[in-house]
Homo-oligomer: A and B are copies of this chain.
């Protein structure tokens, strides 16, 4: 059972003043991990932690003389590491201990303030690399709403497959083309079958879409099946993931072996990994409709039901060439919560390994498009526009059926201390942003 500790105390304040803003993503109760360097100077990438509008350089902290320096050095092992894989491999006791030491050192009045002040940079002055060396990337399909919405378009006669409510459906994706927020990529080119045609066409995708997913970073690997009861302990944390999709390429290529070139040209993740510890206050009950099958025993445990879900608010927005030229902020597309996921993160881990498949530190799962139960909670444009029949109108009056060149899709996410969690400190994920360049 997930327990809260002093790091979750909502009254904690940091000596980094910007961390104390009420609506900030990175208060002292969060402390997400990433990999960064300063924008100029050709520095090596290294591990950092977000605090307010700053990043704490853990490689620099490890070289300070006090207790926090020693604690960081011990937890990281290789303090010059340019990925989180080493820390991920050390396991949840190390992750929690490091987070506790960082929380104490960053609190108002901490002795460490003197040493650590010199280890802070403004986030506006840094750039990110991928937080981990991602060996394998697996994309799940865990929203029954997305599976049903998309199924209706691809297979009107059988939108939801008979296996859907039994199996956390997943497939392998491409790790080499995963990029970090801020990336710009060319519209993919490929084969499509135009409506009514019997011979494929070749050219730039005309139905380019985003998919709003939650990214799940594996911490410790396995040798043999991971029991559902301990599955969450193998997860280092969550981020945001845009699984860009070329719907026209996908429709023509995906049978019988699944999506391939429709997905592997680019996937974009947010730079900060929000840890399972930081998310503990936002875990919530997982439910299934009464008529649905119960999970098979290898996917079932009391904690799946009591706290299997994560109530993470997900918000997608769009900037266009036109809105950028007018200096307008990104315009809202949709909003939902990850708590609607039909399958839990732990179930994904248990299922993935039940056959003996080996997970490695730094492996990434995508949740699948995290659509919610109503039409306005769709996690992809294809759902919002009903397969292309009904364009979506943006607040500046522009319309979109699919994405156009120059469009920037921005995902943000946060966990709120409202309702039954009144008083719990809000934490956020930062943003996941990507821009479409014209086809080559």
Closest-CB distance, A363 to chain B (whole angstroms): 7
Contact pick for A202, options B169, B296, B440, CB 8 Å: B296
Contact partner, A261, options B176, B193, B293, B351, Cβ 8 Å: B351
B contact residues around A224 at 8 Å (CB): 440
Q: CB-nearest residue of chain B relative to A351?
A: B261
B360→A176 contact, CB < 8 A: yes
Assess whether A172 is in contact with B174, with CB atoms less than 8 Å apart. yes
Whether the Cβ atoms of B176 and A359 lie closer than 8 Å is yes
Chain A interface size range: 35 or more
Which of B171, B252, B266 has a CB less than 8 Å from the CB of A260? B171
- Complex CA–CA separation, A352 to B262 (angstroms): 11
Q: Is A265's CB under 8 angstroms from B177's CB?
A: no
CA distance A261 to B162 in the complex (A): 17
- For this chain, the copies found in one complex come to 2
Interface segment, one of A116-124, A182-190, A319-327, A338-346: A182-190
Residue of B nearest to A179 (CB): B358
The answer on a CB contact under 8 Å between B354 and A260 is no
Residue of B nearest to A439 (CB): B356
Query: Chain B's nearest CB lies how many Å from the CB of A299?
Result: 10
CB A260 to nearest CB in B, in angstroms, measures: 5
Interface flag for A1 (CB, 8 Å): no
Interface membership of A256, Cβ < 8 A:
yes
Complex interface: chain B residues within 8 A of A390 (CB): none
Contact of A249 among B162, B255, B296, B355 (CB under 8 A): B355
With the chains together, A260 CA to B167 CA distance in Å? 11
B357 & A261 in contact (Cβ 8 Å cutoff)? yes
Taken together as a complex, chains A and B put the C-alpha atoms of A440 and B355 apart, in Å, by 9
How far, in angstroms, from A172 to B167 measured CA to CA in the complex?
19
Distance in angstroms between the alpha carbons of A172 and B356 in the assembled complex: 18
Q: Is the CB of B256 within 8 A of A155?
A: yes
Chain B: minimal CB distance from A356 (Å)? 5
- Complex Cα distance, B319 from A325, in Å, reads 69
Which residues 354-373 in A have Cβ within 8 Å of B in the complex?
A: 354-360, 363
Complex contacts, A259 vs chain B, CB 8 Å: 171, 257-258
Quick check: A358 and B176 within 8 Å, CB to CB?
Answer: yes
CB distance from A277 to the nearest CB of B (A): 26
> Is B363's CB under 8 angstroms from A256's CB?
no
CB atoms of B161 and A264 under 8 A apart: no
Residues of B within 8 A of A255 (CB): 161, 163
- A355 contact from B163, B190, B296, B298, Cβ within 8 A: B190
Return chain B residues, CB-CB under 8 Å to A169.
253, 256-257, 260
* A91 in contact (CB, < 8 A): no
User: Would B356 and A188 count as touching, CB distance under 8 A?
Assistant: yes
Least CB distance, A365 to chain B, in whole angstroms: 12
* Whole-angstrom CA separation of A122 from B185 in the bound complex: 50
Instruction: Tell me, yes or no, whether A246 is within 8 Å of chain B by CB.
Output: yes
Q: Could you name 25 residue pairs across A and B whose Cβ atoms are closer than 8 Å? A: A136-B176, A138-B260, A141-B257, A154-B256, A167-B252, A169-B253, A169-B256, A171-B258, A171-B259, A172-B264, A176-B358, A185-B356, A188-B356, A189-B354, A190-B354, A191-B296, A202-B296, A225-B440, A254-B256, A257-B258, A257-B259, A261-B352, A261-B354, A264-B355, A265-B357
Closest 6 CB pairs of A and B: A258-B258, A188-B355, A172-B172, A171-B257, A257-B258, A265-B355
